[in-house]
Each structure stands twice: as C-alpha cells, then as structure tokens.
Structure 1
Amino acid sequence: MKNLLRTLKANRGFLVFLLGLAVFRTAVADWNPIPTASMRPTLLEGDVVLVNRLAYDLKLPLTDVVLLHLDEPRRGDVVTFSSPKDGTRLIKRVVGLPGDRVAMHGNVVLLNRQPLAYDGARTQGETVAPGWVVDAVRQTENLAGHPHAVQWLPALAARRDVDEFTVPPGHYFMLGDNRDNSEDSRFIGTVPRERLIGRAHHVLVAADWLGEDGWRLAPRFGRWASAIQ
C-alpha cells in the first residue's frame, strides 16, 4: 500500500492530466477516427474528425447523464452516437427529425412526402476492398438547404426502399452518405436523443490507410482541418 501511495504521489501531475483529458473528451470535445466507408465521399477511412460534445447537450463528465439541453439537432448535421442496436459508436447524417414522415423509393429520400433534390450525377471507380473496384454513382443531395455529396454502389445488393413512417418524438432518422454501404436507421432503427454524442464539424487529420494494393499509410494533407459539409 505504501509503495502504491508513493507511486501515486510521484505521478500525481500525470494522473491529474489524464483525469482532465478524460473529462474534456467526455464532456466538451472528442476526436473520432473513421474506420469504415459508410460516410463516403464526405468522410474517408483514415479521417479523424473533431466532435463537439456540447453541440446538443451538457452531460455530467464521464457519464451519459444529460444535465441541460443546449440546442437541437438539425437536418444535415453529421453526428456521432451510440447505436440503439448494440451500443457501437457510429457516425451518420441526421435526415429525419422528430415528427417527420420519412420514406425512400429507389434511393430517393422523401421527407414529409416531398422528394429531396439530386443533381450532378457522375460515375467513378470506388475501391470497396483491396483489389475490388466497383462503379460508384455520386450526386449532390439537397437536404433542407444543406447540399452534400452522397453515393450509391449499383453493383452491391442494398436496401434502397423504406416504407413511409413517422419519426417518433425524441428520435432521429440517420443515413450514411454511402447509401449502399452503411448500417444506419434502415437497419438499426431511429436513434433516441440520449444516445447522441456530438456533432462532427471538421476533419482534424487524415491518412490514406487502405489502397488498391493493400494496407498503407500516407497522409492526406489536403483534408486536414477541413470543414465537414
């Protein structure tokens, strides 16, 4: 016990730093690496995004206990949250707000029975695994005045239709921008507000760690400190 106390005393500065960092990351701001392609082309594997944990709620540090609502999520926000299915941390885009009527028909999102506008269709190769490249169709989706890029992968089997339903109170309908390669509200259901972690607003740093020739690590300096659309 004495040895433990001496060790703690000798390293108290470092321990205070770790505690402060933990409080900061759980209550104020966090950084979140992107491990999958579900938000392509907006976010790429190897991006590290900066997350504002005070965007919507003030929470008790080191917990998920909400102390105060600060703001409301908006359509088009890119948010991190804990999956209502299994608790996995995910990052998706807010598409449907509480009370919205949401549907999808052939990849077209309908909000309150009005289809979103899409323009600028173009096709390019997309690497979905080392050595496996498929055609990706990219367009600009206008979500309530918030234009952003989305893509579809016609070669993959995917869920492209959702029957109309109303988003429950206090819940949000989330979609990945890579519509044919995203486990989002089409599969995990709507996301309760208390599971929201924060809003991702900038790419902090980025590296290309998966190329056509296998694993690699190369900085993507052009994406560093870039705003998320």
Structure 2
Amino acid sequence: MSKHFANLWRSNKNLIAFLFLMVLFRSAIADWNVVPSGSMLPTIRIGDRIFVDKMAYDLRVPLTHISLVHLGDPRRGDIVTIDSKAAHELLVKRVIGVPGDVVALRDNVLYVNGVRADYRPLAKPPMHDVPPGAGVYLTERFDGVSHVVRLSPMAPSPMSSFGPVTVPAGEYLMLGDNRDDSADSRYFGFMPRKEVMGRARNVAFSLDPSHFFLPRLSRFGAPLDQPLASN
C-alpha cells in the first residue's frame, strides 16, 4: 500500500501540491462563494458568485477560526460572510449595528442610535420583479452608509419591526438588503465577531438560474458598493 501511495505521489505531486495550496489560499486569503438565495437582493443576485476578501479583518490559521493577526473590524455597511453556528450555514449579510449601537426597525424604517435612516425611491428599479410591482426599491442612508434595499409590500415580513436593541461587545447586528425576505439577526440574534469570515467586495462571476444558467456578463467583476444597473 505504501508503495502505491509513493507511486501516486511521484506521478501527481505537482497537482497535489497545487490543490493543497489552493485550499489554503481559499481558506485564509481569498475565496468565492455561491449565493443561492435572494436575501441580499438587489445588491447580490441569485446565482452570483461573490469574491470574498478573507484577510479584510483577520489573518487566520487555514481551515480554522483561529485569528493569528487582527487586521481590523467590520464597519457599518460592510457586506460580510458569517460562518453562523446559529443558522448552521454560511450567511452573507450587511453590517447594520456595531458594538455599542442602539438599533431599531419600525415598519422597515431603520433607526441607528436614535437617528432615522433616510429613504429615497430609485428613479429606475434595478431589477424586473415577477409579478411586476412585487418589490419596492429604496436608497437607504444612515451614518454615511448608502445602499439599496428591497421591500415586498405584497408579502411583508413579520419581523419588519423590532427593538430598540443594544449591540453587545464583540458582536454585530446584520440584516439582508431584501428586508422582507431575509433570515438575519432578527431570527438568529447578534453575530459574534469570531464568526465573521471575510468581506464581500465584488461579484466574481454570475450565472442566471432563470435562463439555463447562462452567464450574466454585466455582473462579472461588478463592485458591491456601487449604484446598481438595471437588468
């Protein structure tokens, strides 16, 4: 058996070494993740593969949550990946509340530290909803953060109101941009800092599940912190 493995190594050592280094790279430095749900619509579309900067906040021991070097902390507005024990899966959400913040939601109107977010309708919807009119798109601005949120008047979330709650030390409050269809801190509670695995900055590439998984060329490399283009 050992002779068999020795022959296997000699014949494939370059490939094995490449695969090993690729696993380490994706675990500790950068990765891309598939987005199977619409909880971050319209910022992230179903079928997007997002590029995740694993060194945005920590340098970790590969394949673990152990931080070797602390490089920074998530800020309001960051889109992050969370290896959530509460949800038992990898989540992609937006940071709304950082430690010490007081956050409330009143009929999908956000308040951070007692200040109401500003909402303005988009001149042109960034997506075509089915059925038409199923989604309402607004620019949400608070504390220097600006992004687009989607509301669903035809199917409002039972969690469209909560709080006020104070974000504990070492934890974060996360929400999805698709406010009426997102399982986030409203359901799973505050997200521990140690579970934040990286920051999502760009779409790596995108495949459209509603059109036989054909590439969405306009989404390739699209930044997640820029105004959204319509379909």
TM-score, length-scaled by structure 2: 0.91
Pick the aligned partner of 1:225 from 221, 224, 231: 221
- Residue 200 of structure 1 aligns with an amino acid whose one-letter code is A
Q: Unaligned regions of 5+ residues in structure 2, if any? A: 226-231
Aligned residue for 1:183, secondary structure, equals coil
Deviates more, 1:21-30 or 1:217-226: 217-226
The one-character-per-residue Cα deviations of 1:24-68 (angstroms, maximum 9, x if unpaired) are 001100001111100000010111110000000110112111111
Equivalent position of 1:56 in the other structure = 57
Equivalent position of 2:197 in the other structure = 197
- Residue 61 of structure 2 aligns with an amino acid whose one-letter code is L
Aligned residue for 1:54, secondary structure, equals coil
Is the contact made by 1:202 and 1:226 (CA closer than 8 Å) also made in structure 2? yes
Q: 1:51 and 1:106 mapped to 2: Cα distance? A: 32
- Give the CA deviation at 1:22: 0.6
RMSD: 1.6
* Superposition pairs of residues 109-148 of structure 1, within 5 angstroms: 109-120=110-121, 126-127=129-130, 135-148=134-147
* Superposition pairs of residues 21-32 of structure 1, within 5 angstroms: 21-32=22-33
- Give the CA deviation at 1:134: 5.5
Is the contact made by 1:172 and 1:193 (CA closer than 8 Å) also made in structure 2? yes
* Structure in which a larger fraction of residues adopt strand: 1
- Give the CA deviation at 1:206: 1.1
- Residue 191 of structure 1 aligns with an amino acid whose one-letter code is M
Q: Unaligned regions of 5+ residues in structure 1, if any? A: none
Identity of paired residues, percent?
39
Runs of 4+ in 1 over 6 A off after TM superposition: none
* Superposition pairs of residues 1-229 of structure 1, within 5 angstroms: 1=1, 2-120=3-121, 126-127=129-130, 135-158=134-157, 159-210=159-210, 216-229=212-225
Q: 2:183 and 2:100 mapped to 1: Cα distance? A: 22
TM-score, length-scaled by structure 1: 0.92
Deviates more, 1:8-17 or 1:47-56: 8-17
The one-character-per-residue Cα deviations of 1:53-84 (angstroms, maximum 9, x if unpaired) are 00001101121111111011110000001123
Number of residues paired by the alignment? 221
Aligned residue for 2:213, secondary structure, equals strand
